[in-house]
A and B are shown apart, each in its own frame.
Chain A
Amino acid sequence: MNILELNKIALWKPKMFDELTVREAGAGRPYFADGIMRKTIARTYRYAKNYEKGKRKFCLIVITYLNDAEVIEGKLDKIAKKIKASEIDDALANTTDSSFAYTNYYLEDK
């Protein structure tokens, strides 16, 4: 079972629809930051989109306070290009149907 970390890019098996989907959740969600558990103080938004790299199909996920689908999609697209095939393979090996694997990428990365 994953622990929520905001703005950290996660990798998972491909989701049902390839396009970017967004889901909103209310405040008060527990998340992990700076070594301690906190609770979100505002709504969070989950962005997820499928990508394909060579023969690998995968999904990038990020949960954040930011409410701007276009901007987030652009950032996910950039990260998808940077991410290596070996990183995808390692991450997918550690995912299950109900848990993803965090990458070392963050939304704020340039």
Chain B
Amino acid sequence: MFHLLLTILISTKVFAQVASTEQLGTLNTIQNGFATVAECQNEQTEGVNCAGTALDESLKDILNLATTNQCVASNEDLQNTGIDIPNCPEASDSLKGLDHSYPSGGIFSVYTGNNDGFIEDLLTEYLADNPGGRFNLVLPRERQSYLQNNPNLSRLLNNESVNIIQVETMPAVDRWMQDSFEFTSLDGKPAIYQLEHYREERSSFEDRLACQIAKSCNLPYFIPPDMVDPYNSDINSLNSGGNLETMPGGTLYRGIVKSNGFSNYNMPEDTRAPYQTDYQRIQRESLEAAGNKVLDLDTSFLSVGHVDEIINIVKTNRPAPCDYAVILASPEKAFELMEATAARTAPTPEELEQELTQPTKKRISSSFSLIENRPQRDIDCSEVGYYSLAVEGISNRLSPERVEEIYNLHCMDEQSIHSFVESDEYQILKNENLEGYNPGDPSISDVMQENRDALVAELARTTECSNPPIVEAPVFFRGGVSYAPDLVNGVVHPNAQNTSSIIMPRTYFQPFDQYMEKELSSLGVGSSFVHSVGYHILDGQVHCGTNSARICK
């Protein structure tokens, strides 16, 4: 999440119809390279809660307590729950970032019609220790009938802390709330900063998710300099919101392709690293011109390519200046925990002697059969593979008893951890993550070490903390994405103890989840898990599916 403190010189207002395209929108103002768009402005008086769009009649019975015009909590609302509001960074006419230690005044997510378990979990965990915050649900009218058919979720959403933002159709960006815009802060209040997204290419601004949220929430809406030209479009995942974050101390960090030797996920063919998009180049120029430092990290090994897949920041109970911790994806920790669990859960020699092997034939075509031998003593994980779990969480959250049942199976996707660790697949992935593909190629672990060194050096410079705690999250990768749900990609909000709480994707592999809970707890950081497997199988996680409006004073 990238929050900008954007202060525009208002002393001289320049209203000029600088550029106008029939397809995209009417740009009214361009200052410091940023533009506003006429179609994305709410007609209500700025600063006053607008009337919003009244809920459809069909929803009024089931959501009579939810609001439609209260997207972001006030400073007072949060302070009344015991959360301190930090001062905004020193602002003049320069851009500054708000890191995850700033309070979340509102969280945003999209209802897709088959992510009910996720929404239930997210709402419950967010409000549990951030009761002053606002839970915003973007609700496409074409999916409303699914919500109406889910009384449990409807009951949960019928809450004064919930704000409904109705839109006509599913946003072009689908459930990926993080990627097409960022929240900024203008005079201590949230504003929206449109980003380029592949699925919104050539869409009018009016049709874009960020614009619809800006109008519904009566928030200022801005286009960054590189998007003012409507034909400036990279169509690259590196340009998305999940790939631009802020660290304590104010430096902005993002991912570019720095290493060769991985699959060519986000680089054009026949291009060699280092590589960044044109959009990223212009973005750096405009941010640096505003007095910011931008740190480019290496996301070469990632298919989506976003820094929020491998790095997160949380506030701890340690004294300043080292009052934060860095969460880093650690393949080493993942393999260590898997091997320890496999050794602990391996069949005994007596059990192996009694083992009977029976082939299970499953005919799938006229020419071939899928034949797999599985020792009878091996755990049957077929019902708790990620696809099965995704289906299980479509309509409801999983019960604590069901979660415990899955944990006790010690499965990694569809395989028992013992079988998985013994497999060729495991060995190949271990090579890819820890050794590198070919002699001379970097491994994922090598790249993460470089990223860690660069981050720590920058943090030492800007926060005077030379040795921040590092939480090594057990995350390993296959084909550019995390194999299990990615524990790094959680959404962070402060709690009443004025440390962070982080809502993480549940991996359903207990050693991973327990390890994170324990490590974070030792730093005074709260943690909880949500069912986000439906997001995981689509290459994203919790942070990817949310956006947070942070506030300061």
The reply to whether chain A is a binding partner of chain B is no
Residues of B that sit less than 8 Å from A by CB = none
A→B interface (CB under 8 Å): none
